[in-house]
Amino acid sequence: MKIMLRAALLAAPLCLAFAAPAHADDSYPVKPGDYVEIGMITVDDGHDLEYMNWLAGQWRKRQDYAKAQGWITGYEIMTNEFKRPGEPDLYLVTRYATWASDAESDKRGDAMRAYMAQTDAQMQASSAQRATYRHQMGSMLLRAWKWKN
Protein backbone atom coordinates (compact mmCIF):
# COMPACT_ATOMS: atom_id res chain seq x y z
CA MET A 1 0.00 0.00 0.00
CA LYS A 2 2.88 2.35 0.83
CA ILE A 3 4.41 1.65 -2.59
CA MET A 4 1.13 2.55 -4.33
CA LEU A 5 0.85 5.74 -2.30
CA ARG A 6 4.43 6.77 -3.09
CA ALA A 7 3.90 6.03 -6.81
CA ALA A 8 0.73 8.09 -6.76
CA LEU A 9 2.52 10.94 -4.99
CA LEU A 10 5.24 10.87 -7.63
CA ALA A 11 2.65 10.92 -10.40
CA ALA A 12 0.65 13.79 -8.91
CA PRO A 13 3.03 16.60 -10.01
CA LEU A 14 2.90 15.25 -13.55
CA CYS A 15 -0.89 15.37 -13.45
CA LEU A 16 -0.77 18.90 -12.11
CA ALA A 17 1.59 19.92 -14.90
CA PHE A 18 -0.95 18.83 -17.49
CA ALA A 19 -3.77 20.49 -15.55
CA ALA A 20 -2.00 23.86 -15.39
CA PRO A 21 -3.34 25.25 -18.70
CA ALA A 22 -6.91 24.80 -17.48
CA HIS A 23 -6.16 26.86 -14.39
CA ALA A 24 -4.47 29.60 -16.38
CA ASP A 25 -7.21 30.04 -18.98
CA ASP A 26 -10.72 30.93 -17.81
CA SER A 27 -12.09 30.00 -21.23
CA TYR A 28 -11.89 26.29 -20.35
CA PRO A 29 -15.39 24.93 -19.66
CA VAL A 30 -14.06 22.50 -17.03
CA LYS A 31 -12.20 22.66 -13.74
CA PRO A 32 -10.17 19.96 -11.98
CA GLY A 33 -11.97 17.59 -9.65
CA ASP A 34 -10.93 14.61 -7.57
CA TYR A 35 -7.94 12.41 -8.17
CA VAL A 36 -9.15 8.86 -8.75
CA GLU A 37 -6.88 5.96 -7.83
CA ILE A 38 -7.86 2.61 -9.30
CA GLY A 39 -6.37 -0.67 -8.14
CA MET A 40 -6.77 -3.56 -10.58
CA ILE A 41 -7.19 -6.90 -8.78
CA THR A 42 -7.50 -10.54 -9.84
CA VAL A 43 -8.70 -13.21 -7.44
CA ASP A 44 -7.95 -16.91 -7.84
CA ASP A 45 -10.89 -19.26 -8.36
CA GLY A 46 -12.52 -20.29 -5.12
CA HIS A 47 -11.38 -17.21 -3.17
CA ASP A 48 -13.97 -14.60 -4.21
CA LEU A 49 -15.93 -14.84 -0.95
CA GLU A 50 -12.75 -14.81 1.14
CA TYR A 51 -11.53 -11.64 -0.55
CA MET A 52 -14.93 -9.94 -0.48
CA ASN A 53 -15.13 -10.66 3.25
CA TRP A 54 -11.72 -8.99 3.72
CA LEU A 55 -12.86 -6.01 1.65
CA ALA A 56 -16.08 -5.77 3.69
CA GLY A 57 -14.08 -5.91 6.92
CA GLN A 58 -10.56 -4.49 7.03
CA TRP A 59 -10.55 -2.55 3.74
CA ARG A 60 -13.93 -0.95 4.37
CA LYS A 61 -12.98 -0.05 7.94
CA ARG A 62 -9.86 1.72 6.66
CA GLN A 63 -11.72 3.51 3.88
CA ASP A 64 -14.54 4.63 6.18
CA TYR A 65 -11.98 5.99 8.67
CA ALA A 66 -10.10 7.82 5.90
CA LYS A 67 -13.36 9.32 4.65
CA ALA A 68 -14.42 10.38 8.16
CA GLN A 69 -11.02 12.09 8.57
CA GLY A 70 -11.52 13.96 5.27
CA TRP A 71 -8.52 12.24 3.69
CA ILE A 72 -10.62 10.77 0.86
CA THR A 73 -13.90 11.88 -0.69
CA GLY A 74 -15.20 8.42 -1.50
CA TYR A 75 -14.48 4.85 -2.54
CA GLU A 76 -16.12 1.93 -4.29
CA ILE A 77 -15.62 -1.58 -5.61
CA MET A 78 -16.39 -2.32 -9.24
CA THR A 79 -16.51 -5.78 -10.79
CA ASN A 80 -15.52 -6.61 -14.33
CA GLU A 81 -18.70 -8.34 -15.46
CA PHE A 82 -17.47 -9.43 -18.89
CA LYS A 83 -13.82 -10.09 -18.10
CA ARG A 84 -11.55 -10.86 -21.03
CA PRO A 85 -8.24 -12.72 -20.72
CA GLY A 86 -5.65 -10.58 -18.95
CA GLU A 87 -8.17 -8.20 -17.37
CA PRO A 88 -8.78 -7.74 -13.63
CA ASP A 89 -11.76 -9.14 -11.75
CA LEU A 90 -12.15 -6.07 -9.54
CA TYR A 91 -11.38 -2.39 -9.57
CA LEU A 92 -10.88 -0.75 -6.18
CA VAL A 93 -11.59 2.96 -6.61
CA THR A 94 -10.58 5.66 -4.14
CA ARG A 95 -11.18 9.38 -4.67
CA TYR A 96 -9.02 12.17 -3.22
CA ALA A 97 -9.66 15.91 -3.38
CA THR A 98 -5.94 16.63 -2.88
CA TRP A 99 -2.71 14.75 -2.26
CA ALA A 100 -1.11 14.80 1.14
CA SER A 101 2.49 15.93 1.60
CA ASP A 102 5.04 13.34 2.71
CA ALA A 103 4.86 14.62 6.29
CA GLU A 104 1.05 14.56 6.27
CA SER A 105 1.08 11.09 4.70
CA ASP A 106 3.31 9.86 7.54
CA LYS A 107 0.93 11.38 10.13
CA ARG A 108 -2.03 9.73 8.46
CA GLY A 109 -0.21 6.39 8.40
CA ASP A 110 0.46 6.65 12.12
CA ALA A 111 -3.17 7.54 12.79
CA MET A 112 -4.41 4.67 10.63
CA ARG A 113 -2.14 2.12 12.37
CA ALA A 114 -3.39 3.35 15.74
CA TYR A 115 -7.02 3.19 14.60
CA MET A 116 -6.62 -0.29 13.12
CA ALA A 117 -4.48 -1.38 16.12
CA GLN A 118 -1.95 -2.95 13.74
CA THR A 119 1.79 -2.67 13.37
CA ASP A 120 3.54 -2.50 10.00
CA ALA A 121 4.60 -6.13 10.51
CA GLN A 122 0.99 -7.22 11.11
CA MET A 123 -0.25 -5.33 8.03
CA GLN A 124 2.50 -6.87 5.90
CA ALA A 125 1.70 -10.36 7.19
CA SER A 126 -1.98 -9.84 6.35
CA SER A 127 -1.05 -8.60 2.87
CA ALA A 128 1.24 -11.60 2.33
CA GLN A 129 -1.58 -13.97 3.28
CA ARG A 130 -3.95 -12.32 0.79
CA ALA A 131 -1.25 -12.41 -1.89
CA THR A 132 -1.65 -16.20 -2.02
CA TYR A 133 -4.99 -15.75 -3.82
CA ARG A 134 -5.30 -12.01 -4.63
CA HIS A 135 -3.03 -10.38 -7.19
CA GLN A 136 -2.67 -6.71 -7.98
CA MET A 137 -2.29 -6.27 -11.73
CA GLY A 138 -1.50 -2.58 -11.44
CA SER A 139 -3.02 0.75 -10.63
CA MET A 140 -3.94 3.99 -12.34
CA LEU A 141 -4.18 7.56 -11.18
CA LEU A 142 -6.80 9.56 -13.04
CA ARG A 143 -8.18 13.04 -12.58
CA ALA A 144 -11.85 13.86 -12.82
CA TRP A 145 -12.91 17.12 -14.46
CA LYS A 146 -16.07 19.02 -13.63
CA TRP A 147 -18.14 21.37 -15.76
CA LYS A 148 -17.85 24.96 -14.62
CA ASN A 149 -21.55 25.52 -15.30
- pLDDT top residue among 135 and 19: 135
Domain with 61 in it: 2-147
Determine the pLDDT at residue 17. 46
What is the pLDDT, as a whole number, of residue 149?
A: 84
Judged against a pLDDT cut of 50, whether residue 93 lies above it is answered with yes
Beta-strand ranges (E) seen in 44-89 are: 74-79
* Per-residue confidence (pLDDT) for residue 55, from 0 to 100: 98
- Section 43-68 average pLDDT: 97
What CATH number is given to the structural domain containing 75?
3.30.70.100
The total number of residues shown for the chain amounts to 149
Task: For residues 149 and 145, give the distance between their C-alpha atoms in angstroms, rounded to a whole number.
Answer: 12
Domains held by the chain: number? 1
Q: What is the pLDDT of residues 98-115, one digit of tens each?
A: 989 999 999 999 999 999
Contact 133, 38 (CB under 8 A): no
